Amino acid sequence: MHMNGDTSAPAPSGAAPAPDQRPLPPGGSPEPPPGTRARLGLRKRFLQALPFTDNLVSVVAGLLAIATFAAGALGYVAKAERDERNELEGAVASLERQRDDLRATNEQLTTEVESLTDENADLGSHVEELEAAADDEPREGEEDPPATTTPGDTGERRLADIEPVDGNVRTDPVAMGGEEYRYPVRLDLATFSVRFADYDLGKDYSRFTAQVGLNDTYTDTDRAWRFTIVSVGGPTGDAVLFDETISFGTVVPVDLSVEGVLRLRLAVERAFPAPLSGGGYNAYNATWGDATLR
Sign of CA pseudo-dihedral 80, 81, 84, 85? negative
Sign of CA pseudo-dihedral 139, 144, 149, 150? positive
pLDDT value at position 277? 46
Tell how many helices (H) and how many strands (E) occur in the chain. 1, 11
Going by C-alpha positions, the residue among 263, 255, 260 that lies closest to residue 288 is 255
Task: Give burial (CB, 10 Å; 0-12/13-18/19+) of 77.
Answer: exposed
First to last CA, the chain: 195
The total of other beta-carbon atoms located within 10 Å of residue 170's CB is 14
pLDDT value at position 61? 83
Q: Degrees (nearest 5) of the Cα angle 253, 152, 183? A: 55
CA distance 282 to 262: 29
Residues 6+ apart with CB under 8 A from 30: 22, 24
pLDDT value at position 10? 54
pTM above 0.75, yes or no: no
pLDDT value at position 12? 53
Q: What is the pLDDT of residues 221-263, one digit of tens each?
A: 878 899 999 999 877 789 999 999 999 999 999 999 999 999 9
pLDDT value at position 16? 53
pLDDT value at position 147? 42
Name 166's bridge partners: 198
pLDDT value at position 19? 52
CB 229 within 8 A of CB 208: yes
pLDDT value at position 152? 42
Which segments in the chain show pLDDT lower than 50?
1-3, 145-154, 277-279
Which CA distances in Å does 115 have to 107, 121, 122, 123, 126?
Answer: 12, 10, 10, 12, 16
DSSP class of residue 262 equals: S
pLDDT value at position 73? 85
